[in-house]
Amino acid sequence: MKTQKIKQLAAVVGLACGMASMSTFAGTITGSAHDFKAATWNASGEICVVCHAPHNNQASILNAPLWNHTPTAASHTMYTGFDIDGTVGTAPNGASLLCLSCHDGTVAVDSFGGNTPVPTNIDAINANANLGVDLSNDHPISVTYDDVNDTELHPAATTDVTIGDGVGTTGSIANLLLAAGEVQCSSCHDVHNTNAVTGTKLLVKSNAGSALCLTCHNK
Ligand code: HEC
Ligand code: HEC
Ligand code: HEC
Ligand code: HEC
């Protein structure tokens, strides 16, 4: 009943903002792909708890934002690519490591709050969202944004970009898209859906006409 009411409220707010899709409700995590409050395995009925809790969090990921999900212990094959100028970390770090807690397919989605289930057909991440542990065929992450040696990258400090769904924020590539000077999953995706573009895969910017790619790459 409570869930029902929240959903109805979300739908009303969504319509009031002129958003066409109710299932993707950009602007909040509620109703997004990361809203697990109604999952059969989530008895709490809460949203944040799958990834964050106020106390007694995962000590093994230091400096992560109150991280409550079992971290991945897998060893990942990193991108080596063609002609990389930046430095790719030897292992995923920062936000990417948190995303891979679920998206490398080695830890169950319902493994949080100290539970340690391994993936089964019920709680494993779906195949299309499972990047696996071999990241050499994915866009580089945990890579420095080396706009000095790679002159086909727009200057991170001085290029202003706008992200979000028309209500987004404007700022430099460095401030809005990079984390400690590095490209991470969160450079392109907004895990909370706050500034993601409706109808995309939680992208911080529409990729129509490859706009997202052209934000960083001067091609
Ligand atoms: C599916 C996992 C997931 C869920 C669910 C989730 N978060 Fe997060 N959260 C993350 C990740 C990953 C980061 C760090 C990377 C980032 O901010 O992009 C983060 C960072 C944060 C931060 C610190 C950085 C910032 O964005 O301000 C806050 C605060 C936060 N989350 C609050 C919440 C709250 C409140 C909820 C529930 C309404 C929530 N999160 C639900 C994954 C999640
Ligand atoms: C608690 C586990 C968990 C964490 C942590 C997590 N995700 Fe997800 N994510 C999921 C699940 C489950 C789905 C739904 C997959 C599906 O469609 O079946 C999903 C879906 C997505 C999608 C597809 C969205 C759509 O609308 O189809 C994207 C993009 C995504 N996640 C990116 C991220 C990024 C980036 C991070 C880290 C900043 C992250 N996720 C962290 C579990 C997680
Ligand atoms: C350089 C930008 C970029 C980075 C970095 C990036 N992604 Fe994506 N990702 C995209 C784009 C663009 C799409 C949408 C592709 C499409 O719609 O066909 C996408 C799609 C996805 C999907 C949806 C797959 C599906 O078919 O449902 C997931 C899940 C996802 N990314 C997770 C991640 C995770 C986890 C990371 C970090 C390890 C990451 N992404 C890093 C750009 C990026
Ligand atoms: C947040 C900035 C950013 C965005 C957005 C982005 N990239 Fe990148 N991309 C980078 C950086 C940084 C590198 C590493 C470049 C280097 O050091 O040589 C890279 C590397 C690459 C490479 C590998 C180059 C090589 O030499 O192996 C390709 C290809 C690429 N990006 C394509 C894309 C595509 C396609 C998109 C859109 C889906 C995209 N990028 C979006 C920053 C970005």
C-beta separation of 106 from 72 below 8 A: yes
pLDDT at 107: 94
* Residue 44 vs residues 33, 39, 48, 58, 110: alpha-carbon distances, Å: 18, 10, 10, 19, 12
Would you place residue 167 in the very low, low, confident or very high pLDDT band (cuts 50, 70, 90)?
low
Higher model confidence: residue 7 or residue 138?
Answer: 138
- In tens, the pLDDT along 21-78 reads 333 445 899 999 999 999 999 999 999 999 999 988 887 776 789 999 999 999 999 9
Residue whose C-alpha is closest to residue 89's, from 99, 101, 98, 77? 77
E strands, 136-212, where? 143-144, 160-162, 170-172, 182-183
End-to-end CA distance of the chain: 52
Instruction: State yes or no: pLDDT of 158 exceeds 50.
Output: yes
Mean pLDDT (the chain, rounded):
87
- Tell me which of 35, 169, 191 to substitute to probe ligand 1's pocket, judged by most ligand atoms within 8 Å of the beta carbon: 191
Q: Quote the pLDDT of residue 79.
A: 97
* pLDDT of residue 149 exceeding 70: yes
Tokens 């995706």 found at: 189
How far apart, in whole angstroms, are the C-alpha atoms of residue 107 and residue 192? 20
The per-residue DSSP string of 21-41 comes to -TTT-TTSSTTSTT--TT-TT
**Confidence band of 116 (pLDDT split at 50, 70, 90):** confident
Residues with C-beta less than 6 Å from any ligand 4 atom? 81-86, 139-140, 143, 145-146, 150, 153, 177, 183, 187-188, 212-213, 215-217
